[in-house]
Structure formats: structure tokens, C-alpha cells
Structure 1
Amino acid sequence: MTTTTPFPSTPIASLPGTPYPIHALAYSAAPAAYILTGSGDRAIRLYNPFPASSGPRGAVQPGKLVQTFEAHGYEVLDLCVASDNARFASCGGDRSVFLWDVATAKTTRRFGGQHGHTARINTVAFAGVDESVLVSGSFDASVRLWDAKASSMKPIQVLSEARDAVQVVLVCPARPAEVLAGSVDGRVRCYDIRMGRCVTDVIGEPVTSLCATGDGEGVLVGSLGGVRLMDRGNGGSLMSYDGAVGGSLG
């Protein structure tokens, strides 16, 4: 596939706030006017990246820090935002998933503890038609599903097919009942949480990232071996992209 549109390469805003590593970034849902960051200082920050400014034309403008969210005991590793922008979820090194209310800047639910993951949680996503389910993937090689509306702290389902750390989970809005999970064991697993089915695609290299196409029919798979565009219908590789440089997972 060729394109004549150059990839953006000029900074237009900066988001000040922490000297610690930023592990997670997420735009708010449409119209994507805000940005959330999760960092090594255990805090989550909400920014308006483009506040009204009278700065010189063409200069990189500082974003405005709107709110800081604090509850995690260790680094924040991933964030996901609900489609109504009223809630978001976070996860991290404290083996917990937090559900937040944006208006009050407080947590409404915490999933973890006795029935939770046994190692750091690398990834989290909303699932279900009404986004009433949270999906988390962990260094403990499991994927867990949590009922965001119920009072129970137990996961409603534990998916243990992976043989190594789960680095990323993905739920496409076009297929809210399907969960994709990418693992260091070199596989992408597609779970149909309604039918109880699991389909596995072998990538052959540790999987580090997943991104669905707009129609939900394809998924970009990032691994230590490169990037592939996969067909979700038959699991075939539609295209490979050169230029990725492999490395080691920390």
C-alpha cells in the first residue's frame, strides 16, 4: 500500500508533568480532545493538549494539566477509555485494575487481591456491547475478565491458554464480544467470550502490540520479528512491513 500523505513529524504540543517514564498513553473517545498518561510515578494525568494560547505561531505549545489521578501502588502500565468518556480503566505493577470516574477523579472499582493476577498487569481493555466487562492481561500468562457493574471481586472468566506473559489485549468496537490477546509465546489468541471458543494464530515471535483496522476485519500484529497485517477471518498474513528492529523484552 502506498500513500502520498507524509507521516506527522513536527511536534505541536508538549505535556509537562513528570520526570518518570511514561508507560501508557490514551486519547479520550471521540472527539479525542484530551490525553491520558500513566507513568512510573504511579500517577495518571489528564491533559488538554491544545488549550487556547497566544503563543507565537508555529511554536510548540504546552498542554494544560487538567487532573491527576492517584491510587496505584506501583507504576501504571496501561489505560483504556470508555466510549462515553465518563470512565476509564488502568492497570499496572501492583497487580490491580482500577475503574475510574472522570468527574470525581476517584476509583469506583478495584479488581485484584486474592482472586486477581499474581504478577504485574500489562494491559487492559473494555469489552461487551455496553462496555460492562474489563479484560486484563498479565505477566502471569493469564487473561481475566471482570464484571464492571457487579459487586463481586472475582473474575467472571480466566483464560489460561498462553504459555508466557500476555503483553496486549484488544477489543475491536466492531466485535465487542471478541478478545484478542498477544503473548510472548509468539501467538495471538482470539476468544469469543459468548461462545467460549479460542482460535490461535502462530506468529513465531513474541507479540508486543495489536491494532485493529477500522472495519474490524484485520489486525496489525507487532512483534520482535516485525509487523504483519493479519486477516481475522482466516488468520492469513495479508502484508508484512519491513523496518522493525527486534529487541529484548524487559
Structure 2
Amino acid sequence: MSSDRRADPPAAALEALAALEGVPSAYAAARDGIDVMLRDRGLRRTSPETTAESLLRGAHASGVLEGSASTLAEVRAGEGDAIATDAVRVSAMLLSVVPTLRQAPLQALARVHAVAAGASLPEDRLGRPRDAESAQRLRGVADLLTARTSAPALLVAAVVHAELATSTPFASHNGIVARAAERLVLVARGVDEKSLVVPEAGHLALRAAYESNLRGYADGGRAGVHAWVLYAAEAYAAGAEASPLRRAAE
């Protein structure tokens, strides 16, 4: 968040963002779209295989955003490059971390990073912040995740994503961790309990805007944060369109 918002208590900072111009309507529309998609496409009839497909699509998209050159078909066949393989490894364990995210978010984030970077970093760097400043930023993310707030869960997910992606608290794989954390928030807060929306694919579909708005967020200005929050609502709508529920019905 912008420097002035970081000085506020986490709940107040989130609620201030939720009240910015255009944000309430954007997030109401995004949540309505997700709810309608889940209801109309037969949420009660979904299988574990549908969730697995959503996670696989998310892993592919997150890997591409991290620099992977693998296609979805290659990832599905287990033939993805190293970055894609890292993202798939995260997707395979991700939902098991949901209870930890609720109770001990720092532990959950450390676990996600350890799995993502397990094939490329020495053990003593897995799940550990790069330095004291990074540790402080991670504590700030944990505070956002545990704050009692009336801000929409989608907005909390968007801010957590941006904070992790722009502060790069770990030695590697920060984008993969950030996008995994975003999905975790959507599950943990009841937006998408079966993890059928593919937010990572939403970001990939809007890649130029995704990367531009993350740069704006990183600059720390209020306008950049506002732009990111508005962008994220659009990305969630695109993530709903990428759901295997939606595609299966076409």
C-alpha cells in the first residue's frame, strides 16, 4: 500500500481502500459475477477433478507470468520447464495450507515459498525472508490477513498479492508465492471454497495491465494503489471466465 496507508492499522487501511472511488461497485460486480458463475455452473455437482483442473490452469498461468515458456498442454503432460514445475508443485499442496493461513499466515507463506523454491534454493533460505526489512513486510502482510475488517475478501486478496509481489520478501519465486496467496485468500474467506476460479489466468489474460499496475503499486503512491485495486476487480472477472466450470459448459 502507499506509504501513508501503511502507517494506518491494517483494518483501517483496507477499509480506506474499499471506500475509494469506483472500488465498491467494482468489487460488488466482481463478487456477483463469481457467485453467479459458481451457482449457475453447478457448484454442488463439482468434483475434486474440477478443482484440480482449476489449480493446474492456475499453475500454468502463474508459471508463465514468472517466466515459464511451457504451454498448458506441456504442463498437463508433466513436461513443463523448471518454473512451470515449481508452480505445479505449489498448486498440488496449496489447499492443504488454507487452515494454516487462517491461524498462522507467516507459517503458511513460508510453506508456500519452501515448496516453490525447494528445487532451486538451499534449505536455509527456504521460507525465510531476505533481510530484516523483508521480515517486516511479511509481518505487515500477516497483519492484513488477520485484521478484522469489513473490506471485501477480494480486495484483501488483491492487496496481499500486490504486497508480496512488489516487496519481494523471499530470495526467489515471489510472484508465484503472491499469486498462490491470492488464491488461498479466496478459498479461506469463502469467496471460492472449492477453488474453481482461476485468478492467475485472469492476470495472464490481462498481462500488460497486470504488470503495469504492479509497477504503479510498487511506486507507493496512492494513485498507483487505487489503480491496482481497480485492475484486480477486472482480473477476478477474467479469472471467473477461465474457470473449468465455465469452459466445461461451453
Q: Could you state the TM-score of these two structures normalised by the residue count of structure 2?
A: 0.29
Question: Which protein shows a greater Rg?
Answer: 1
Q: Report 1 or 2 for greater relative contact order, CA contacts < 8 Å, sequence distance ≥ 6.
A: 2
Structure with the larger helix share = 2
Q: Could you state the TM-score of these two structures normalised by the residue count of structure 1?
A: 0.29
